[in-house]
Structures are given as structure tokens and as C-alpha cells.
Amino acid sequence: MSRRVEYLTGRGTDFVELAAEHFMESALTTCSQGSTAEKIAIAITNGHFGSLPVVDGGKRLVGIISEFDLLKALRAGKDLEQVTVEEIMTSEPISVKEGATAEALMKILGENHLIRVPVVDGEGRVVGVVSRTDVLHGYIQSKVGDLPWWM
């Protein structure tokens, strides 16, 4: 894992001062529009991801593909080996900028019923992903620091 929030010292760090760049997982997997849905289903299940950002050649966010999209394709009788990501992905997904505040993140995640959201830089390139759990982890880190190993 590579989140900046993991390096906080604990008590004294103000949670509301933290931003998406502190919470996000920056070691992430992305895919292209031309990938097969079957390949992405394998990546999602083996990597325990719920979704993957879809990027163009410049790493700019062009979509997102989720377990829901894959299941929807299966329910429609599609062969995932014959379907491309572009055919079933969600185009123009919700994303946040690196500087999005903790409050803005919680609002976006909550109001849109999202589990995770891609983080993009000023050029629209994907630089990370933030999940609800990441935000909660940041809150805990800012209040109590590292928990004992038994918790």
C-alpha cells in the first residue's frame, strides 16, 4: 500500500486538512478500452478490486469498469471473451482532483453511493483511487495513529 496518510504521526493531525492525495492508493491497476471484459474480470477477481479506471494512451481517465458492468454483460448473455471494455464501461465517471478535501470526498462517495473514486491530476491523468475505507483509515490515523496489532 502506498498512501501518504499511513505516514501521519497520529494525534494532532487535523482530519479536515487532509486531501485525496493523502488518502489515495497510488499503486493502482488501470486498463485500456480495448481490453477484453474477460481479462478485466480476471484482474478484478484476482486483485480484489471492485472496479478499474479505464485510461487512454496518456493515462487520462476515459471510463471505469466495475463488477456491476461485468455482471450486467453476463446477464445480457454476452461472452466476456468477445466483449471489449469500451462496450460496457461507464463513460465519463465521477472523479476527484488530488486536492479534494476529506469533506468533499465523503460527500461525493456518499451522495453517489460509490465505494471508490479515481483521483486525477490537473491534466485528467489517473494518479490514484480513494475508497470509503481509505477515508476512514485517514480519520483513524489522524486521531489515534497506529492501532495495536491486536485491533
Q: Which of 10-19, 60-69, 94-103, 105-114 has the lowest mean pLDDT?
A: 10-19
Give a three-class secondary structure readout of the chain. CCCHHHHCCCCCCCHHHCEHHHHCECCCCCECCCCEHHHHHHHHHHHCCCEEEEECCCCEEEEEEEHHHHHHHHHCCCCCCCCEHHHHCEECCCCEECCCEHHHHHHHHHHCCCCEEEEECCCCEEEEEEEHHHHHHHHHHHHHCCCCCCC
Q: How confident is the model at residue 103 (pLDDT cuts 50, 70, 90)?
A: very high
**Is the pLDDT confidence value at 9 over 60?**
no
**pLDDT above 60 for 128:** yes
Domains of the chain: 4-144 (3.10.580.10)
**Using one digit for the tens of pLDDT, what is the confidence trace for 55-90?**
999 999 999 999 999 999 999 999 999 999 999 999
Per-residue model confidence as pLDDT tens digits over 21-43: 988 998 889 999 999 999 999 99
Q: Is the pLDDT confidence value at 148 over 50?
A: yes
Interval 103-116 mean pLDDT = 95
